[in-house]
Amino acid sequence: MSAYSLSVSYTGLDLVNGFNWYNGSDLSNGFVSYQSREDALAKDLWSVDSSTGAVTLRVDDTNVYAADGSEGKRPSIRIESIQAVERGLIIGDFAHMPGSVCGSWPAFWMYGPDWPDNGELDIIEGANTAQVNLISAHTLEGCTLPASGDFTGTQGSTDCTSPGNNGNIGCNYVPPSTDTSSYGDSFNAIGGGIYAVEWTDDTIKVWHFPRNAIPVDIVLKVPDPSGWGEPEALFGGSTCDVDTFFNDMSIVLTMDLCGDYAGNVWGVTDTCDTSTGSDTCVEWVAGHPEALANVFWEINSIDVYTKPESASSSSAAVSSTSSAAHSTRSGLFANSSTSSGSLSTSAAAASSTPVGLTSAPISGSASLTSTAPTTSGTGVPDRDPLTVGDFVYLGCFGSSSSYPTFNEASTSNSMTVETCVSLCASNRYAGVFDTTCYCADSLDPATSALADQDQCNTPCPGNPAEYCGGLASVSTSQAANATGGASSNSSESSLISRLLRRDAPNSILLTVYGNVAAIQPVPPPAPGLGAGGEDTTTVTATNLITLTTTVTYTTVCATNPASLETRTYATIVVVEDCGCAHQTYPAVAMATVVQACAACGASGESSVTLTVPSGLVAVGAAAVTETGAAGVAAAGATATGAVVVVGGGTAAANASVPVATATGTAGTGVVVAGAPGMGKEIAGVLAAGTFVLGLALLL
């Protein structure tokens, strides 16, 4: 049974509204111009998938800039959670992360105020063409990694002091060799996955679960780390007092370019200088926007759990940190109920805040769709093997430069993925299209993984159950949009001769595998993300309203599936006080699901259609039945694979979804008003019970 309950769930517009959008200068000296939420939306740098709630964050991949910065730097995004975390369980579910692209420096991390006094934890981080993740910590002097313990990763630097005798690299781990999809292209090729952090009084542990190996308790939102096995990284214990070195950490997502990491290792631990023909990272990033098309995050959710016994104290700590450290505006207001009550953030508090943080309200008419790439389905390849010997599936690749580093190894009417990898055993990369296998030892920057893996859909001649490359769609492939030809030997492909006699050869796509250990055995250590020069950007203090919203909904009884029961769902949200006579709040959202039961319907049906809080629905999960005191999931869920999870937790709503009428004894669904906030979408259905809107001050 899980000891954790859901405290906050960020997904969809709740993620957008629950994070501050930093628009100050980059403290890590990157070639980026971080955008406010409003400016990022105007530049089409973020979008929300209306069907899944996934949020896409991307860098500008359209404009050319002067390398000296005289025309500005490349627009990008850095967001930080309004609510800080003080112990608990943080689970990030990513469908896609920035690819293994020259110039890219993405990170999913956490840090406390007054860096490095309250610590920094880098959960996902890498630079340029990295295929292996780096998990790091940065602290004041006195924290080191344990000499031994229950962890599977490999330690690098063991002194976490930053800055320290080892510079600003802190302490770090790399995943075990058995984790073949921890970062970049290899992570994206299997549809991403989950990174989970458990932060207790004694230790901080980090796990990675690829998309095809996510524990069912995480899917059902009743996580139990005791059953996950050893973590990849372990901080704390007798060599590092966690309570001393890590406190009140905000959750951060960044997409930096060049800077103190990617810029400094350019051409030193990778071949980006020779492959791009650019001596410096900035020169390349400034002048080649098309090379950054795969630099984007697609975030399914970021969930924060707390233990019941510490929920009250943790919540108070979180609220206090939020009010003092993040004086922001929160938006997406729509007509709903009104309330009063506010928290005045003092000028003194504002002066001590992390600077550059803004969160402008979204206009109700703003478009939430864009051309940002998306992934389809679960993303887990259902045909090609994830590994072949030492080689790892890296995805479906396109090229606008004729795949200059790939050389033909063989052509065979019985070609398979395994055959091609075997032919390229002495190389770093193997790429196959139809009957032809190509090998390479490096990738040029115009040859990269596509966001849509499904474009590689050509059956292998020797094994139709596998895919050997495909044909690019000129309208959807960045590679196909650019000029240039394909492999010089592409005319030998039988599929090309049948279908592409009039098409440009760059329409060839390769199914690519890579020897990750040979590409980059160990990633170089990274500098602390919280370090840097002084930023003089300021933010304006505003009044915030803290709302506690409680709704009731109907679901199948956890202990008696022949009956229905009413449960309560609550959330704490923070909104800006508009100072007007009639405060407005966003419309709530709900999900319509089918739950199996034991003849609980009005006429004895074995299933009922219910409208429940969206925060309790695990989208894309397999149909699983799990019964226990903490939660129940219904088998035979809706066509989208939604699974209803019954249990405690909080969430919030700021998107509108049509209300569906429940059948059976559930009665008619009644939607109640909510407020925007830091959690997952919440919808209330009143079959019986009341809606309570409480006010609380962040103290």
* Residue 166, pLDDT score: 77
What secondary structure does DSSP assign to 344-369, as a single string? EPPHHHHHTSPTTEE-PPPPTT----
* Residue 451, pLDDT score: 80
Per-residue pLDDT at 370 exceeds 70: no
Strand partners, 205: 198, 234
pLDDT per residue over 547-585, tens digit each? 545 567 788 887 788 888 887 655 444 455 566 666 655
What is the token pair recorded at 300? 């399914």
pLDDT per residue over 35-83, tens digit each? 999 999 999 999 999 889 999 999 999 999 999 999 999 999 999 999 9
Look at 687 and 235; give whichever has higher pLDDT: 235
* Residue 602, pLDDT score: 86
* Residue 503, pLDDT score: 30
Listing from the earlier edge strand, what are the strands of the sheet with 135-138? Answer: 154-155, 171-174, 135-138, 120-125, 104-111, 250-257, 78-81, 19-22, 357-358
Domain boundaries, the chain: 5-328+346-358, 391-514, 543-696
Work out the pLDDT band at 322, boundaries 50, 70, 90.
very low
Per-residue pLDDT at 643 exceeds 60: no
Q: Which residues are the active-site residues?
A: 120, 125
Look at 563 and 261; give whichever has higher pLDDT: 261
Q: What is the mean pLDDT of residues 209-238?
A: 95
Q: What is the residue whose two structure tokens read 């490349």?
A: 74
* Residue 675, pLDDT score: 30
> How are beta strands 250-257 and 135-138 bridged, if at all?
unpaired
* Residue 638, pLDDT score: 33
Work out the pLDDT band at 436, boundaries 50, 70, 90.
very high
- Taking the C-alpha atoms of residue 185 and residue 104, their distance in angstroms, rounded to an integer, is 12
Work out the pLDDT band at 143, boundaries 50, 70, 90.
very high
pLDDT per residue over 533-551, tens digit each? 334 333 333 444 545 455 6
* Residue 583, pLDDT score: 62
Q: What is the mean pLDDT of residues 426-436?
A: 95
What residues contact 581, with CB distance under 8 A and at least 6 apart?
Answer: none
pLDDT per residue over 666-689, tens digit each? 333 333 333 333 232 222 322 333
Q: What secondary structure, in 3-state letters, does 47-68 show? A: EECCCCCCEEEECCCCCCCCCC
Q: What is the mean pLDDT of residues 497-526?
A: 69
Per-residue pLDDT at 660 exceeds 50: no
Residue 372 carries which DSSP code?
-
Residue 320 carries which DSSP code?
H
Q: Are the C-beta atoms of 256 and 30 separated by less than 8 Å?
A: yes
pLDDT per residue over 597-641, tens digit each? 999 988 889 988 988 776 555 433 333 333 333 333 333 333 333
- Taking the C-alpha atoms of residue 365 and residue 572, their distance in angstroms, rounded to an integer, is 26
Per-residue pLDDT at 697 exceeds 90: no
Work out the pLDDT band at 463, boundaries 50, 70, 90.
very high
What residues contact 362, with CB distance under 8 A and at least 6 apart?
Answer: 13, 16, 17, 37, 38, 41, 331, 332
Lowest mean pLDDT among 98-107, 224-233, 564-573, 672-681: 672-681
* Residue 578, pLDDT score: 61
* Residue 557, pLDDT score: 82
Look at 678 and 96; give whichever has higher pLDDT: 96
Residue 259 carries which DSSP code?
I
Per-residue pLDDT at 591 exceeds 50: yes
CATH hierarchy code of domain 5-328+346-358: 2.60.120.200
Name the 3-class secondary structure at 188: helix
* Residue 552, pLDDT score: 74
Look at 331 and 213; give whichever has higher pLDDT: 213
Per-residue pLDDT at 162 exceeds 80: yes
State which amino acid sits at residue 426.
Answer: S
Work out the pLDDT band at 218, boundaries 50, 70, 90.
very high
* Residue 699, pLDDT score: 30
Cis peptide before 163 (omega within 30 of 0): yes
What secondary structure does DSSP assign to 417-430, as a single string? HHHHHHHTTTSSEE
Q: Cα separations (Å) of 428 from 460, 514, 623, 626, 653?
A: 21, 6, 39, 44, 47
pLDDT per residue over 290-310, tens digit each? 999 999 999 999 999 998 764
* Residue 167, pLDDT score: 80
Q: What is the mean pLDDT of residues 337-358?
A: 31
- Taking the C-alpha atoms of residue 132 and residue 516, their distance in angstroms, rounded to an integer, is 8
| CA neighbor of 399 nearest in space, from 298, 469, 478 | 478
Instruction: Cite the DSSP H helix spans in 442-486.
Output: 478-481
* Stated pTM of the model: 0.65
